[in-house]
């Protein structure tokens, strides 16, 4: 089985970090009794969590209705997510508690209490109602990291409208595909958002998509950057104008536990992204549960910060729903880590100080930091002098998510950010799982750098071999053997695709697409995807999606895409392209093809390099040999190529790969 990450010799699997005694002394969880409880009766365990962490308008009568592959959790229960995230905290006397410390990239700040957030959410829920939205409708959200984003999400949940958030870096085509698949009635967006000191336009992308989004009746636009944007009368409305007259009075609707909460599109092995469906009661239970215990949350004193974008599942679960349900105080930062506050921006942007994150941690007294390995590797590259110049003593727990963390990055995080005091939670999960599945818990687990350790209580994981036989030690495919509360409820509009994608490979098991290995102590080491999905800076992009964007260019006859190991981004996208006969290979054309992908899918999916080749290596049955292409681009030995139809293709490829410069 081909893993993406090599477990190096640098460290040993025996290198262990027990929870620091001072930390363990006061930790929320200090022993494995929760695992014992869940192993004895996992339904009863999750029912207890659901009743403890969530307030129900009506209690549920059935904990789990499981008809593989369809799960229903807490059936018969009625609840409201925005009530759980807002009203009940205010009713408990915590209305003046800070929900979010928000900092814009230009240094502007907003402190929003639970009471203020509640008022804004009620107003926007009334705006949505005024525009004709009702329970069961879908709203597409395409926004920067501004407070209006969680406000819009919570307003949707208040009245049972499902949101579908499209990450702000995605292209008009991506908006259009997702909008049409979900049949969204409204798009909520902004003129632009700040990134690296400039206003990066969003409404303009929505406009480009809208021509082909027939279901959209209204567009609401937040004025973040004061850009002059086109507003179509009757269809487009300014957020601030609608909010100016909206009432703060809006009851939270009691919704079914299985009411659709949101869709989030994610890449699979085909070119068409899948609308992952999450519902209300089970999802909220698991994200509140995992947020509380993975980060040892003390809502009364902690200032928690997840640096992800809300457009990804990490932001949904661990910036918005988990933290707010738990009554936490969080930080949200709009911009990029290499953009300092304006007073520190002198000269060439490349020379700007790279300490915005550490500056924020010091100023707000951040207690938990949750970020991605790719970000950590970038901070390593920038150098430890940046964090060293700041007081990071408020930090208690560190987290990572999105891809396997290499031990070197783990050690750097531990040493230079955690200052050897803070447990690290390497959390493995997926858009499909909704919340954490595998992670150490800071007061209990002895960690090993690079290992996600083991499942959290109530989650059941097994590795299997090609035949589906359980593997006790060594490498295997990661499978989940029992349903969990935040499990995806399906793929929007494609029940068969749901079964085929996740449940058909191994009988009775959810197959996650990841390979992993179990060491002699039973610790899990995630090895990356075993399917045709790449992981670039923690973001999932399918080879098929990029290939179809490449062949969409008129000059391209055939394309094959591979994810090659990359020091910074985990994997980098490399596109092999065969030109149509009438086109001449040139650097200009190569660059044009490369930019074409960015135009179709967004800059994240732009190949690091496009290599023009006369032919592609194929098996006799015509399948492109991706492994071989990856080996070529990584300059490795070619291994076994006896199944290659035309051996000479490889030599040719190798010379071209060496010629092709890697681009940013």
Over the window 225 to 264, marking each residue x when it contacts ligand WTA by CB under 6 A and - when it does not, the resulting string is ----------------------------------------
List beta partners, residue 474. Answer: 518
Q: Which residue in 309, 304, 258 sits closest to 284, CA to CA?
A: 258
Residues 610-649 that bind ligand WTA (CB under 6 A): none
**Residue reference for tokens 């925005």:** 82
Which of 95-103, 200-208, 395-403, 489-497 is the region at the interface with ligand WTA (rule: CB under 6 A)?
395-403
**Residue reference for tokens 């998510």:** 401
SS3 readout for 584-644: CCCHHHHHHHHHHHHHHHCHHHCCCEEEECCCCCEECCCCECHHHHHHHHCCCCCCCCCCE
Helix axes 543-551, 587-601, angle to 10 degrees: 120
d(CA 114, CA 121): 10
Which of 287-295, 506-514, 573-581, 643-651 is the region at the interface with ligand WTA (rule: CB under 6 A)?
506-514
In the complex with ligand WTA, which residue's Cβ is closer, 356 or 489? 489
By the rule CB under 6 A, 526 interacts with ligand WTA: yes
Which of 311-319, 351-359, 408-416, 441-449 is the region at the interface with ligand WTA (rule: CB under 6 A)?
311-319
Which of 282-290, 310-318, 391-399, 633-641 is the region at the interface with ligand WTA (rule: CB under 6 A)?
310-318
The answer to whether the CB of 536 falls within 8 A of the CB of 571 is yes
Which of 135-143, 378-386, 399-407, 626-634 is the region at the interface with ligand WTA (rule: CB under 6 A)?
399-407
* 109 phi, psi to nearest 5 deg: -130, 155
Which residue of 123, 540, 553, 606 would you call a contact of ligand WTA, by CB under 6 A? 540
In the complex with ligand WTA, which residue's Cβ is closer, 174 or 314? 314
In the complex with ligand WTA, which residue's Cβ is closer, 378 or 595? 378
CB of 403 to ligand WTA, least distance (A): 5
In the complex with ligand WTA, which residue's Cβ is closer, 529 or 626? 529
By the rule CB under 6 A, 275 interacts with ligand WTA: no
Which residue of 137, 177, 355, 514 would you call a contact of ligand WTA, by CB under 6 A? 514
CB of 115 to ligand WTA, least distance (A): 31
Dihedral sign, Cα of residue 115, residue 120, residue 121, residue 122: positive
In the complex with ligand WTA, which residue's Cβ is closer, 191 or 426? 426
CB count in 10 Å sphere of residue 347: 7
Which residue of 259, 339, 367, 535 would you call a contact of ligand WTA, by CB under 6 A? 535
CB of 169 to ligand WTA, least distance (A): 14
**Site size for ligand WTA (CB under 6 A):** 22
- In this structure, what token pair is assigned to residue 648? 């000479």
Distances in Å between the alpha carbon of 290 and those of 24, 256, 277, 324, 428? 18, 22, 19, 13, 12
Helix (H) or strand (E) holding 570: strand 570-579
- In this structure, what token pair is assigned to residue 655? 């010379």
The answer to whether the CB of 103 falls within 8 A of the CB of 333 is yes
Residues 312-351 that bind ligand WTA (CB under 6 A): 312-314
d(CA 418, CA 410): 10
The answer to whether the CB of 116 falls within 8 A of the CB of 150 is no
d(CA 292, CA 288): 6
In our burial notation (b when 16+ CB lie closer than 10 A, e otherwise), range 285-316 reads bbbbbbbbbbbbbeeeebbbbbbbbbbbbbbb
Residues in the chain: 664
Which residue of 163, 529, 590, 600 would you call a contact of ligand WTA, by CB under 6 A? 529
d(CA 580, CA 596): 16
CB of 641 to ligand WTA, least distance (A): 28
Over the window 16 to 35, marking each residue x when it contacts ligand WTA by CB under 6 A and - when it does not, the resulting string is --------------------
Which residue of 121, 220, 324, 512 would you call a contact of ligand WTA, by CB under 6 A? 512
By the rule CB under 6 A, 565 interacts with ligand WTA: no
In the complex with ligand WTA, which residue's Cβ is closer, 162 or 409? 409
In the complex with ligand WTA, which residue's Cβ is closer, 120 or 403? 403
In the complex with ligand WTA, which residue's Cβ is closer, 335 or 402? 402
Helix axes 281-294, 42-53, angle to 10 degrees: 90
In the complex with ligand WTA, which residue's Cβ is closer, 56 or 477? 477
- In this structure, what token pair is assigned to residue 457? 């209580």
In the complex with ligand WTA, which residue's Cβ is closer, 358 or 429? 429
In the complex with ligand WTA, which residue's Cβ is closer, 340 or 373? 373
In the complex with ligand WTA, which residue's Cβ is closer, 150 or 404? 404
* 520 phi, psi to nearest 5 deg: -65, -20
CB count in 10 Å sphere of residue 493: 14
Which residue of 137, 338, 403, 532 would you call a contact of ligand WTA, by CB under 6 A? 403
Which residue of 246, 324, 401, 530 would you call a contact of ligand WTA, by CB under 6 A? 401
CB of 14 to ligand WTA, least distance (A): 20
d(CA 283, CA 488): 9
In the complex with ligand WTA, which residue's Cβ is closer, 5 or 225? 5
CB of 133 to ligand WTA, least distance (A): 27
Which of 64-72, 233-241, 250-258, 512-520 is the region at the interface with ligand WTA (rule: CB under 6 A)?
512-520
CB of 478 to ligand WTA, least distance (A): 8
CB of 371 to ligand WTA, least distance (A): 12
HSE-up (13 A, CA, CB side) for residue 290: 32
In the complex with ligand WTA, which residue's Cβ is closer, 529 or 553? 529
The answer to whether the CB of 265 falls within 8 A of the CB of 295 is no
In the complex with ligand WTA, which residue's Cβ is closer, 205 or 542? 542
Between CA 305 and CA 401, with CA 438 as vertex, the angle to 5 degrees is 35
* 344 phi, psi to nearest 5 deg: -105, 10
d(CA 440, CA 400): 11
Strand boundaries in 120-207, DSSP class E? 138-142, 162-165, 186-190, 192-195, 198-201
By the rule CB under 6 A, 404 interacts with ligand WTA: yes
By the rule CB under 6 A, 513 interacts with ligand WTA: yes
Q: Which residue in 358, 338, 336 sits closest to 348, CA to CA?
A: 338
In the complex with ligand WTA, which residue's Cβ is closer, 208 or 271? 271
Helix (H) or strand (E) holding 518: strand 510-518
Residues 408-447 that bind ligand WTA (CB under 6 A): 426-431
CB of 74 to ligand WTA, least distance (A): 23
The answer to whether the CB of 290 falls within 8 A of the CB of 322 is yes
CB of 515 to ligand WTA, least distance (A): 9
- Contacting positions for ligand WTA (CB under 6 A): 266, 312-314, 401-404, 426-431, 452, 512-514, 526, 529, 535, 540
């Amino acid at each position: 089985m081909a893993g993406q990450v090599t477990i190096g010799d640098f460290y040993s699997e025996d290198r262990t970090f027990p929870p620091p005694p001072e930390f363990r002394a006061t930790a929320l969880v200090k022993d494995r009794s929760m695992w014992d409880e869940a192993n004895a009766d996992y339904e009863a365990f999750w029912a207890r969590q659901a009743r403890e962490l969530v307030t129900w308008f009506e209690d549920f009568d059935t904990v789990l209705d499981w008809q593989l592959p369809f799960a229903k959790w807490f059936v018969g229960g009625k609840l409201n997510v925005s009530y759980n995230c807002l009203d009940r905290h205010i009713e408990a006397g915590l209305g003046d508690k800070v929900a979010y410390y928000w900092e814009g990239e230009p240094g502007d700040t907003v402190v929003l209490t639970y009471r203020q957030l509640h008022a804004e959410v009620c107003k926007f829920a009334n705006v949505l109602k005024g525009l004709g939205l009702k329970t069961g409708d879908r709203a597409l959200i395409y926004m920067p990291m501004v407070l209006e984003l969680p406000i819009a999400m919570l307003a949707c949940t208040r009245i049972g409208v499902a949101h579908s958030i499209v990450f702000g870096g995605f292209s008009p085509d991506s908006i259009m595909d997702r909008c049409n698949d979900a049949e969204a009635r409204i798009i909520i967006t902004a003129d632009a958002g700040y990134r690296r000191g400039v206003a990066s336009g969003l409404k303009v992308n929505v406009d480009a998509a809208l021509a082909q989004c027939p279901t959209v009746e209204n567009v609401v636009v937040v004025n973040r950057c004061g850009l002059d944007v086109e507003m179509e009368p009757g269809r487009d409305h300014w957020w601030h104008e609608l909010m100016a007259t909206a009432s703060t009075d809006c009851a939270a609707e009691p919704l079914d536990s299985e009411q659709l909460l949101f869709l989030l599109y994610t890449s699979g092995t085909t070119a068409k992204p899948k609308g992952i469906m999450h519902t209300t009661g089970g999802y909220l239970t698991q994200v509140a549960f995992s947020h509380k215990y993975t980060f040892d949350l003390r809502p009364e004193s902690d200032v928690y910060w997840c640096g992800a974008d809300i457009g990804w599942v990490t932001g949904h679960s661990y910036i918005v729903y988990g933290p707010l349900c738990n009554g936490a105080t969080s930080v949200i930062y709009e911009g990029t880590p290499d953009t300092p506050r304006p007073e520190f921006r002198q000269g060439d942007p490349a020379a700007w100080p790279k300490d915005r994150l550490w500056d924020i941690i010091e100023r707000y007294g951040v207690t938990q930091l949750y970020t991605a390995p790719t970000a950590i590797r970038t901070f390593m590259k920038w150098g430890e002098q940046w964090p060293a110049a700041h007081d990071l003593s408020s930090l208690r727990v560190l987290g990572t998510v999105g891809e396997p963390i290499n031990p070197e990055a783990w050690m750097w995080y531990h040493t230079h950010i955690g200052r050897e005091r803070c447990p690290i939670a390497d959390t493995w999960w997926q858009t499909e799982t909704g919340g954490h599945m595998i992670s150490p818990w800071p007061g209990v687990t002895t960690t090993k750098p690079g290992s996600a350790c083991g499942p959290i209580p109530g989650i059941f994981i097994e590795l299997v071999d090609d035949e589906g036989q359980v593997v006790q030690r060594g490498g295997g495919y990661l499978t989940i053997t029992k349903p969990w509360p935040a499990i995806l409820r399906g793929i929007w509009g494609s029940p068969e695709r749901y079964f085929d994608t996740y449940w058909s490979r191994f009988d009775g098991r959810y197959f996650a697409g990841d390979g992993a290995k179990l060491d002699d102590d039973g610790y899990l080491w995630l090895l990356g995807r075993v399917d045709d999905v790449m992981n670039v800076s923690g973001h999932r992009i399918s080879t098929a999606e990029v290939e179809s964007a490449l062949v969409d260019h008129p000059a391209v006859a055939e394309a094959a895409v591979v994810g090659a190991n990359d020091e910074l981004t985990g994997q980098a996208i490399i596109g092999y392209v065969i030109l149509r006969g009438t086109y001449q290979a040139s650097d200009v054309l190569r660059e044009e093809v490369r930019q074409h992908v960015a135009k179709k899918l967004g800059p994240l999916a732009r190949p690091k390099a496009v290599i023009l080749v006369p032919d592609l290596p194929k098996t006799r049955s015509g399948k492109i040999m991706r492994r071989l292409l990856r080996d070529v681009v990584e300059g490795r030995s070619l291994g076994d190529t006896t199944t290659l139809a035309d051996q000479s293709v490889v030599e040719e490829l190798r010379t071209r790969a060496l010629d092709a410069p890697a681009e940013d």
